Structure 1
């Protein structure tokens, strides 16, 4: 079982083509692994075994007849429970959402994967409406980090990251409204990618508006590129979707980074980074120099954009909760209700001013990338911290101290950004570097991540994961 679930999408497709392995065998292996580990880590909100087997059987027939639909036909995938799925409830981690209603639509990314024969295993856990950077919710409880189940995997796509780390499927769709794919990728040691806004169509519109991206979490860079090939297409339901450029993201993936101009910013000039994390990131940056890139430590030259993000985020939360009755709001987490109350106090002038500041920040980064192909930063300031709290212990008493200062900036600017595993702390916890490029240069981010992965392969806890008892 573990040998099958370790295989990448490309390896699976090769074995399907040669009739050495079938989508049914792969799907059953993934489901068996979910059954073994999910009660320990709580990565899934729903597992749809019967539908997954039926979809795998249909894929197996296509492969036997020599007419697969695509290069993801028969590949098991999961979807975060913020994304609509036909036939399955999308409760968004909230008791305020009634499961007993028609579920008749797939979100665009899920629709594209299903149209091309990929096999949906189920829905992964999220924080309630994706509001915080850890993954626990009133509906599904606590999701745990496979490297240490007393610690958080981050969030809000924590279920997807844990599923990726443990081989509970091959491809994992998440969302990213401020780092929600990259944060758990960093804390669980997997690859997390946020494409340029609009490159992957989204529907329905999120309450956070144009901060919201569809993310991909995988165990290899190539698997993310394969996924992007399948889902990076417009959808008529998404007014913001970019034109279809028919890009093959696996083509030239091994191009390397020689000659690229890379800016390295250890802290943006204002962030507080744990020394051990900072040291691991610096070692990773040196790898890019050894690979032939021209690396320069640079202050990107902007002030902390946290207030911009908070204004837009709080206003979005206020918009979200206005759509619920008093009874529904009563079962929503207090923290989210408090953010919505802050949003209700934001004036129209303040909101428009935040949008203006966002535009200026985006313009600044576009100018910055005239001189640098890539920007590398830590993904986060810290490694994983205990479950049951929204912030690391040393950050709880200081609301101005930010443990995640590097990710939300690139939701504001809508640039492609990835978290790449770059090593482990002395306590054996994963750390990530963030690779960023200018808007629309998604392939360049993937190429840089692949170059690093080639010389420093990602390590997964598939054979390291141990738990002394099942969690209640």
Structure 2
């Protein structure tokens, strides 16, 4: 049977309902995972054990009284340390932000989860202000990949991805400004979802503006759908938030893909993809054909939009740093300061031209999806690479498949689709037209149903040797608890 920390949302809620498990036990199981494995992987910026246990006990009383509060009462969750959390500092991986402030506000997605009874465990690590696609920062140091701790988990939501992979909480809020949910999902073998821009409200506005999406990192597609039912709501603080469409993301989640028109692009016509990655993604695409989809190998037909993205990204970095005084700026990572300097050189005309090019790309993809329901690509052209590097090879564009869909604001997911000969996970990206978030989840669920995702604790020998330490930690938590067989 599964360990408590590995159970899904629906499994936990069912056990709570039947009084076979309590939210206190589930929270303690998640905390035991954190206490056992976090020293290996450094996925958390802060853990609030005392408050989490207090909230879990309150949830337990509600369940015992037959009065659970909301859709996620007693479900442990984490928040990437770019999103505001009431009662906990949001330092964004930076020494430039003073922790001794009044932290009195939740970001919209955090507020929605708490309103439904979910229990906040802590804040997960990020690169400084989310500026790069690996997860290390001057404040929290290096976050490591659970499949091989000498390798990066990607970023900037690397802490959330690692927490998901190791069962350090059930649900994990991430962000995605150029791939920051999907990149670490691919490198750690979990499910990462970037909804349509505005579907999940964001506040305060990010320095990258409308590139910035609030996302989800979890272990199963169904958990992502349940999470979307809670967080995909407007908030008056977000001027860009979409109206509430009353969508139930679990509705017909298992509908399948029969009859869907799927475009498969191996490399966009210009990306250099590792041969093992290409083969695994191609095999995964073949699964959709076997499930009844009409699959055609075709490129989406746009030129590399990297220059568009860089212009907007650099301008955003310049805007960010202008908000800090010289002493604070000196504490910020040199790489981010260099990008900001490039941003300061961008003229208004160049910025507006990049916006025009972005709009043209968005229109192009809307026309593309008149002929194809879905586009499938590799999530990344590479697998995890050594820590201490910002990219596999100097100056390599190693995220060519992710940032185009921040520009176009489309929903996109990274789905685990196998392992290389060296045991490293590979991700497949599924993209749909704007507002067709459910279709992405349905396609991901169809694939997951025939190729279930595998997490590190199930087959990773380097991690499994810590099982007894986890059991010992859990025993300390449960000394006064009634033992419940799971």
User: Could you say which TM-score interval applies, normalised by the shorter chain?
Assistant: over 0.9
SS in 2 for 1:16: helix
Asked whether the 8 Å contact 1:272–1:402 carries over to 2, the reply is no
Aligned twin of 1:87: 87
Query: Following the alignment from structure 2 to structure 1, what is the Cα–Cα distance between the partners of residues 436 and 387?
Result: 36
Q: 1:415 aligns with which of 410, 430, 434?
A: 410
Q: How does 1:58-73 map to 2 (within 5 A)?
A: 58-73=58-73
Asked whether the 8 Å contact 1:46–1:123 carries over to 2, the reply is yes
What displacement does 1:111 show? 0.2
Query: Following the alignment from structure 1 to structure 2, what is the Cα–Cα distance between the partners of residues 344 and 306?
Result: 18
Q: Are 1:434 and 2:429 counterparts?
A: yes
What displacement does 1:177 show? 0.2
Query: Following the alignment from structure 2 to structure 1, what is the Cα–Cα distance between the partners of residues 327 and 109?
Result: 32
Question: If the length of structure 1 is used for normalisation, what is the TM-score?
Answer: 0.97
Q: How does 1:88-103 map to 2 (within 5 A)?
A: 88-103=88-103
Asked whether the 8 Å contact 2:234–2:243 carries over to 1, the reply is yes
Q: 2:442 aligns with which of 439, 447, 452?
A: 447
What displacement does 1:464 show? 3.4
Q: Deviation string for 1:155-176 (max 9, x for gaps)?
A: 0000000000000000000000
What displacement does 1:304 show? 0.3
Q: Deviation string for 1:355-404 (max 9, x for gaps)?
A: 00000000000000000000000000100000011011xx21xx2x3111
Query: Following the alignment from structure 2 to structure 1, what is the Cα–Cα distance between the partners of residues 196 and 312?
Result: 19
Q: How does 1:68-467 map to 2 (within 5 A)?
A: 68-392=68-392, 395-396=393-394, 399=395, 401-465=396-460, 466=462
Asked whether the 8 Å contact 1:437–1:444 carries over to 2, the reply is yes
What displacement does 1:68 show? 1.3
Query: Following the alignment from structure 1 to structure 2, what is the Cα–Cα distance between the partners of residues 107 and 194?
Result: 17
Query: Following the alignment from structure 2 to structure 1, what is the Cα–Cα distance between the partners of residues 243 and 457?
Result: 39
Query: Following the alignment from structure 2 to structure 1, what is the Cα–Cα distance between the partners of residues 43 and 181?
Result: 14
Question: If the length of structure 2 is used for normalisation, what is the TM-score?
Answer: 0.94
Query: Following the alignment from structure 2 to structure 1, what is the Cα–Cα distance between the partners of residues 329 and 337?
Result: 8
Asked whether the 8 Å contact 2:70–2:115 carries over to 1, the reply is no
Query: Following the alignment from structure 2 to structure 1, what is the Cα–Cα distance between the partners of residues 218 and 286?
Result: 24
SS in 2 for 1:369: helix
What displacement does 1:463 show? 3.5
Query: Following the alignment from structure 2 to structure 1, what is the Cα–Cα distance between the partners of residues 342 and 2?
Result: 47
Q: Deviation string for 1:160-208 (max 9, x for gaps)?
A: 0000000000000000000000000000000000000000000000000
Query: Following the alignment from structure 1 to structure 2, what is the Cα–Cα distance between the partners of residues 289 and 97?
Result: 50
Query: Following the alignment from structure 1 to structure 2, what is the Cα–Cα distance between the partners of residues 63 and 11?
Result: 15
Query: Following the alignment from structure 2 to structure 1, what is the Cα–Cα distance between the partners of residues 399 and 112?
Result: 32
What displacement does 1:2 show? 6.7
Query: Following the alignment from structure 1 to structure 2, what is the Cα–Cα distance between the partners of residues 405 and 268?
Result: 9
Query: Following the alignment from structure 1 to structure 2, what is the Cα–Cα distance between the partners of residues 230 and 18?
Result: 23
Query: Following the alignment from structure 1 to structure 2, what is the Cα–Cα distance between the partners of residues 294 and 458?
Result: 24
Query: Following the alignment from structure 1 to structure 2, what is the Cα–Cα distance between the partners of residues 216 and 232?
Result: 11
Q: Which moved more, 1:461-470 or 1:434-443?
A: 461-470
Asked whether the 8 Å contact 1:222–1:250 carries over to 2, the reply is yes
Asked whether the 8 Å contact 2:79–2:173 carries over to 1, the reply is yes
SS in 2 for 1:113: helix
What displacement does 1:71 show? 2.4
What displacement does 1:65 show? 1.4
Aligned twin of 1:16: 16
What displacement does 1:59 show? 1.1
Aligned residues: 465
Asked whether the 8 Å contact 1:391–1:403 carries over to 2, the reply is yes
SS in 1 for 2:414: strand
Query: Following the alignment from structure 1 to structure 2, what is the Cα–Cα distance between the partners of residues 61 and 110?
Result: 23
Query: Following the alignment from structure 1 to structure 2, what is the Cα–Cα distance between the partners of residues 332 and 356?
Result: 31
Stretches of structure 1 that go unaligned for 5 or more consecutive residues are none
Query: Following the alignment from structure 1 to structure 2, what is the Cα–Cα distance between the partners of residues 236 and 207?
Result: 19
SS in 1 for 2:3: helix
What displacement does 1:234 show? 0.2
Asked whether the 8 Å contact 1:133–1:155 carries over to 2, the reply is yes
Query: Following the alignment from structure 1 to structure 2, what is the Cα–Cα distance between the partners of residues 187 and 327?
Result: 36
What displacement does 1:62 show? 1.4
